[in-house]
Amino acid sequence: MSDTSTSDEQTFYSSYPDSDIRLVFQAVIDILPLALAVVPWGVLCGSLAIEAGLTPLQAQCMSLLVFAGAVQLASLSIIGAGGPLSSILTSSAVISSRHLLYSAVLREDIKPLSLAWRCLLAFFLTDEMFAITVAFKARYNIFSPLYSLAVGFMFYLVWNLATLAGILAGKLLPSLQEYGLEFAIAATFIAIVIPGVRSWSVLGAVLASGLTALICEWFKVSQGLIIATVVGMACGFLLSFREEKV
Amino acid sequence: MTTSWWTIFLMAAITFYCRYLFFTTAISFSLKGPIKRMLQYTAPSVLTAMWVPIIFIHDGNLTSGLDDPFLLAGIVTVVMSVVTRHTLLVVGVGIGSFVLARMLLGQG
């Protein structure tokens, strides 16, 4: 009976990869779907950076150094609107704060590693790398630094190539946004968020955050992202106490 | 306004700090209690706060309804993500339906 509950993936990877090369190969295969999904978003990031007034070198360096799609897009819209540095940094911190959670979850696995490994894995820690790493851990009950590094690096490579494409295309097609590339971002986030809605408290957090974001955007409230995130978190937090009583 | 390199470096410092913080051996801090409970709602909240305005608001106006490719394809994507957990399939069908909706509605 237990066989019926196992997912499709488990039949694909029944045995643990027995060599480093196979481990890296599997990492590449596992991250590929998410890496492909991020391409339109990277292209948008590159072209928006040019439009916001960054030089091509700055635009590429933003992806090379910051390596955070949501942070980059939010900052670029502030830069494009001529907003202050403080708004850029505040929104960057709020959007990045979810990585604190990922960092905390992986802490016990990564803390024993050398400084170089810890820095590398931290640098490559994204929503996607975290999701794939957690799935790998669930599958084999083991954490592999090499596997996670390969996943992170592959994603980094695709992200930066997509940014480069956006920088080049942005010069040729100045109104790249009109192609609706931002829909790809919405689709990616929906695909990440919705499967995680497995309790009333998460549903409450999502609905509260979404509604608040909509109201803020509608009334053109600045820092709407931060307000919506805090409202969503507070709502989920409060609902979680009710769940425990049931 | 020319963008300062400092903006990029400071953003990079912030993103790296958030990712690295709990990997440091210096802090002997284990996440427990209310903070941990609160943090588990961060990702769904912040990601939702980003996708909802993309789907529902265009140029400061609320969606025009079912003749809006963003809303139509958004609904398709949400339904797909409930039905299957294949991320690429969800995103692929979502983008496909967006492109199709724009073509059919004569906005592509």
The CA-atom distances, in angstroms, between A192 and each of A45, A46, A61, A197, A200 are 20, 23, 27, 10, 17
* Residue A215 sits in the same domain as residue A118: no
**pTM for the whole thing?**
0.74
Q: Is the CB of A116 inside 8 Å of chain B's CB atoms? A: no
Q: What is the pLDDT of residue A137?
A: 81
Q: Do A201 and A164 fall within a single domain?
A: no
Residue A188 lies in a domain: no
Same domain, A67 and A175: yes
| A219 and A98 both lie in a single domain | no
Question: Coil, strand, or helix at residue B61?
Answer: strand
Residue A189 lies in a domain: no
* Same domain for A163 and A236: no
Mean pLDDT for B68-73 is: 94
Tens-digit pLDDT profile for residues A66-118: 999 989 988 998 998 888 999 999 989 988 988 887 888 888 889 999 999 99
Q: Do residues A10 and A109 both lie within one domain?
A: yes
Residues of B in contact with A185 (CB under 8 A): 50-51, 54
Which residues on chain B are in Cβ contact (under 8 Å) with A100?
A: 18, 21-22, 39, 42
When CB atoms are compared, the residue of B1, B22, B70 closest to A183 is B70
How many residues does the structure list for chain B?
A: 108
Q: Which domain holds residue A246?
A: 197-246
Which carries the bigger pLDDT value, residue A61 or residue A40?
A61
> CA end-to-end span of chain B, whole Å?
33
Whether A132 and A68 share a structural domain: yes
Give the residue among A76, A99, A100 at the shortest CA–CA distance from A88: A76
Q: Which of A20-24, A93-97, A130-134, A222-226 has the lowest mean pLDDT?
A: A222-226
Domain boundary among A155, A181, A207: A181
Contact by Cβ (8 Å): B18, A103 = yes
A191 within some domain: no
Q: Which of A188-192, A213-217, B17-21 has the lowest mean pLDDT?
A: A188-192
Whole-complex ipTM: 0.84
Tell me which of A181, A209, A224 is where a domain ends. Answer: A181
Size of interface A-B (CB pairs under 8 A): 267
Residue A14, pLDDT > 60, answer no
Q: How many CB atoms sit inside 10 A of residue A242's CB? A: 11
pLDDT exceeding 90 applies to what percent of chain A? 47
Which residue type sits at A81? Answer: A
Query: Would you say residue B27 has pLDDT above 80?
Result: no
DSSP A195: G
**Which of A127, A146, A181 lies at the terminal end of a domain, its last residue?**
A181
Write out pLDDT tens, residues A167-201: 998 777 666 666 777 788 889 889 888 988 889 99
Query: How far A118 CA sits from the closest chain B CA (Å)?
Result: 6
- Please indicate whether, in this complex, the C-beta atoms of A232 and B9 are within 8 angstroms of each other: no
Q: Do residue A61 and residue A100 come from a single domain?
A: yes
- Which pLDDT does position A236 carry in this prediction? 95
Q: Are residues A43 and A157 in the same domain?
A: yes
Q: What are the chain A neighbours of B74 within 8 Å (beta carbons)? A: 183, 186, 190
Residues A168 and A210 grouped into a single domain: no
Interatomic CA distance for residues A202 and A219, integer angstroms? 26
Domain count, chain A: 2
Interface test with B, best of A72, A99, A151, A225 (most B CBs within 10 A): A99
Q: Are residues A95 and A17 in the same domain?
A: yes
Q: Are residues A82 and A202 in the same domain?
A: no
Taking the C-alpha atoms of residue A74 and residue A143, their distance in angstroms, rounded to an integer, is 33
- A37 contacts A188 by C-beta, under 8 angstroms: yes
**Per the domain annotation, does A145 fall within a domain?**
yes
